[in-house]
Chains A and B, each alone.
Chain A
Amino acid sequence: AQSVTQLGSHVSVSEGALVLLRCNYSSSVPPYLFWYVQYPNQGLQLLLKYTSAATLVKGINGFEAEFKKSETSFHLTKPSAHMSDAAEYFCAVSNSGGGADGLTFGKGTHLIIQP
């Protein structure tokens, strides 16, 4: 069975500082990994995805993530935080190759940006 652990339910950074959101996964098959962002009272929007190509994945809004198989990690980073980045972030792993039978999500990390 797949599982995702997001370390830290809340992360607070200053505007302009580095953002680092941690995600570790467990998968019985080669994983497809995703980061989604959720703004208040909205659905989820895909930030980026890893699908067994390049291990460093670039997404929207200046975010990127690096797949590290040896560490079973897929941490999300952004060099300089902006106030508009305040949101809930979810890491997810496919239940099977490609995610055709759904995704398993972490519990989420609430990102707070301090002015």
Chain B
Amino acid sequence: NAGVTQTPKFRILKIGQSMTLQCAQDMNHNYMYWYRQDPGMGLKLIYYSVGAGITDKGEVPNGYNVSRSTTEDFPLRLELAAPSQTSVYFCASSTGLNEQYFGPGTRLTVT
């Protein structure tokens, strides 16, 4: 049972480039989440999904897109990367009741 996995672990992007952060979970959780963590700040919710085919915006969705075609996967797409998107990105999943399980994170730098 791998839990929540994220790839890549690290990435450097140039301004204006695009990329997809991958997230997968093997716990059969319906609910999945993307957060970003900036230095000295807590995590902020970008997008979440309550099941395959259903997504909704969180607190900071601008500049990102998501899709959820399967229960297991919840990729986060960055279009036209900007320096403000330099952050650590965490994916999480849950049953929808209480605890969220977090992945190890992706550290993204945009220069």
A residues touching B (Cβ–Cβ < 8 Å)? 4, 9, 32, 34, 36, 41-46, 49, 51, 90, 92, 95, 98-108
Residues of A within 8 A of B103 (CB): 43
B43 touching A46, Cβ below 8 Å: no
Q: Which of B45, B58, B90 contacts A43 (CB 8 A)?
A: B90
B105 touching A43, Cβ below 8 Å: yes
Q: Contacts A99-B96, A105-B43 given; 4 further ones with Cβ under 8 A?
A: A45-B102, A46-B100, A92-B43, A99-B100
B98 touching A9, Cβ below 8 Å: no
- Chain B: residues with Cβ within 8 Å of the partner, total of 28
Q: Which of B4, B35, B99, B104 contacts A34 (CB 8 A)?
A: B99
A105 to B59, CA, bound (A): 11
A45 to B99, CA, bound (A): 10
Mark B56-81 against chain A: 1 for CB-CB distance below 8 A, else 0: 10110000000000000000000000
Residues of B within 8 A of A41 (CB): 105
Does B2 sit within 8 A of A, measured CB to CB? no
B98 touching A102, Cβ below 8 Å: no
Q: Which of A32, A43, A107 contacts B102 (CB 8 A)?
A: A43
B56 touching A99, Cβ below 8 Å: no
Q: Which of A51, A100, A105 contacts B50 (CB 8 A)?
A: A100
Residues of A within 8 A of B96 (CB): 98-100
